[in-house]
Structure 1
Amino acid sequence: MKMKTYRIRKPKIVVIGGGTGLPVILSSLRNQSADITAVVTVADDGGSSGELRNSVDMAPPGDLRNVLAALSDMPKLYEDLFQYRFKKEDKFLANHTIGNLIIAALSEMRGSTYEAIQLLSHMMHVDGHVYPSSESPLILHAEFEDGTKAVGESKIALDRKTIKRVFVTGKQKAHEVHAARKVVQSIQDADMVVLGPGSLFTSILPNLVINEIGEAVKNTKAEVVYICNIMTQKGETEHFSDADHVRVLHKHLEEKFVNTVLVNTEKVCEGYMDPSIYDEYLVQVTHDFNGLREEGCRVISTDFLKLRDGGVFHDGDKVVDELFRIVFGAKL
């Protein structure tokens, strides 16, 4: 385990997103002396999370569970138990994780997923703050360039159409969409706001299109950093360059708000990825550095690559080292 670094002044870093990319960065951030806040999407409607959000009327727990585990210092056995997923042959419990069920139970006990996450953060000795982006489950909608629409995060990539825009609504049509408590203030008080890594349309944007969060990110004095995905994603960012990712972010918020983009330039060996496990990823994102500069972004390009288990990931330690060079290069 990497030795934790201590500093007199802890930079306030807010990380916004969801999916598998967010915990990678948070795990490495936890080894640094930072005041960490994770803002996590609540638009997931697939798998165990989708079943529980429909059964218990709660925010989907999966991404929140992974973030709690990434920021917790609990013993490895406890973490393994929290993350344990029942086998698909187990009928009633099939594919549910222990952590998801614990979050569901606490959500029902407290009448609030937000309160459940705060209680679990204390119980699990989480180093930082974990907030759902909204205190109610949200429904993600997509409009495609051909004029058709899709409803539900798990449905958006199925037809592999070009996405024009995404937006969120409350689970109940009459419910207005608001940011969860402390989210906006955390963004306003931050030294740095980090977006990603994660699925552009289904992990990052579902947070930013909540109006209060989008406005906070645009208006914060913090450095806004986008960690660009290494691979394109089937049905979301096929044929995308790194500049295309940023253009989509700016188009959705109607303003050029990203200050710095981290781009991986290391090549993935052909045939390395295991398609039976990572079938949603296609090819590496192409580079358009002039396009990024036209979007008003500083570009930091280097080797951020980590290959493991037949998959392509960001090297969390390399990314976090760069984030700290950026944040300490600015006035804290």
Structure 2
Amino acid sequence: MMKSRVNRHRPKIVVIGGGTGLPVILNGLRQYDVDITAVVTVADDGGSSGVIRDYINVVPPGDIRNVLVALSDVPEIYKQIFQYRFKSNDQFFSGHAIGNLVIAALSEMDDRGIFDAVQELSELMRIQGHVYPASDIPLTLNARFNDGTTLAGESHISAAGKTIEKVWVTSIDDEKPEAKEEVIQAIMEADQIVLGPGSLFTSILPNLMIDNVGRAVCETKAEVVYICNIMTQKGETERFTDAEHVRVLNRHLGQRFIDTVLVNTEPVPKDYMDRQKYDEYLYQVAYDFNGLREQGCRVISDNFLKLRDRGVFHDGEQVVKELMRLLGRPKSWYANELN
């Protein structure tokens, strides 16, 4: 007698963010049988990405490049070529990564735009999952500080040395920033939404400040998980507790949309971090369990710390193991804990 076929659901996970934290989580998720979608910020105006953006007015490709490499199944040498950054004495190409130039060229060909360019490049690089720029047009990050002043540009905001009160995004041509329908569909169909780890104001919130993205994250039935940073960040989250990170996220979207928070409680060894190499990171984020629960979210605290190269990072393997455990528990399972 033939066994009946069982349609096994392959969990859908959408990871939203930017910076160096996103590839860490994506590399871990690749080890599991899950459907991965990465939604990547497009509001970066620094480094090679910023220079390319200024010259040819395309979405900054740096974060997209790193995510493509994290999810690619091509041989390692191809990844190394894609990531190669020209040395400073190569004046014409100084500081540019080859992958940034390739992404910019593809987006310019036939005026296809960054979104379609990344989809084509995803096929060429044999991407395991989906990589979606949060917007098809370049966005500018804006901030208002607690002294009432405002600034535009991610790099300028981080360097201002002021307390950020609110951020929002605008487009260069005054079009209303919107994500492609594929991004919204992925969020609405997801089983789990993962935010971070990454810079709160310049990597995570720029995505959520795109109207239809923020709305979809609030309306989705998926569990929304925030991976809180281990260290506070100069010019962004100085003196922040983990609860203050969540409070800022909820305030920007006008409701308590974070379901679960992953926080590291393992102490960073004193004098371990190279303060010159990692000069943007200040102190370990303080743990505020009661403050987190006041935000209506479930708290998972554990040792998610990885020490490497005199720097402090998330242990991607441990974080992803926790994400997998959460996938087996519906939102209703822990809702009673908050009552």
Provide the TM-score with structure 1 as the length reference: 0.96
Quote the Cα distance in structure 2 between the aligned partners of 1:313 and 1:301.
Answer: 16
Question: Stretches of 4+ moved more than 3 A in 1?
Answer: none
* Aligned ranges 1:1-332 → 2 under 5 Å: 8-111=8-111, 112-172=113-173, 174-330=174-330
Quote the Cα distance in structure 2 between the aligned partners of 1:222 and 1:103.
Answer: 31
Quote the Cα distance in structure 2 between the aligned partners of 1:331 and 1:275.
Answer: 40
Bigger Cα displacement from structure 2, 104-113 vs 256-265: 104-113
Bigger Cα displacement from structure 2, 202-211 vs 273-282: 273-282
Shift of 1:329: 1.7
Secondary structure of 1:329's match? Answer: coil
Identity of aligned residues (%): 62
Shift of 1:331: 8.0
Bigger Cα displacement from structure 2, 268-277 vs 296-305: 268-277
Q: Is the 8 A contact 2:223 2:331 kept in 1?
A: no
- Partner amino acid, structure 1, of 2:267: K
Structure 2 CA distance for partners of 1:331 and 1:151, relative to 1, 3 Å = closer
Quote the Cα distance in structure 1 between the aligned partners of 2:30 and 2:55.
Answer: 33
Structure-2 residue corresponding to 1:4: none
Deviations 1:249-272 (A, max 9, x none): 000000000000000011111111
Secondary structure of 2:10's match? Answer: coil
- Partner amino acid, structure 2, of 1:246: V
Shift of 1:309: 1.3
Q: Is the 8 A contact 1:156 1:235 kept in 2?
A: yes
Q: Is the 8 A contact 1:21 1:198 kept in 2?
A: yes
Q: Is the 8 A contact 1:41 1:133 kept in 2?
A: yes
- Partner amino acid, structure 2, of 1:85: R
Q: Number of paired residues?
A: 325
Q: Is the 8 A contact 1:194 1:226 kept in 2?
A: yes
Quote the Cα distance in structure 2 between the aligned partners of 1:233 and 1:302.
Answer: 21
Deviations 1:111-150 (A, max 9, x none): 2111110011001010000000010010000000000111
Quote the Cα distance in structure 2 between the aligned partners of 1:57 and 1:150.
Answer: 20
Q: Which runs of 5+ in 1 are unaligned?
A: 1-6
Provide the TM-score with structure 2 as the length reference: 0.94
Shift of 1:176: 1.6
Q: Which runs of 5+ in 2 are unaligned?
A: 1-6, 333-339
Shift of 1:89: 1.6
Deviations 1:182-208 (A, max 9, x none): 111110000000000000000000000
Shift of 1:277: 1.7
Q: Is the 8 A contact 1:110 1:116 kept in 2?
A: no
Q: CA RMSD in A?
A: 1.3
- Partner amino acid, structure 1, of 2:148: G
- Partner amino acid, structure 2, of 1:214: G
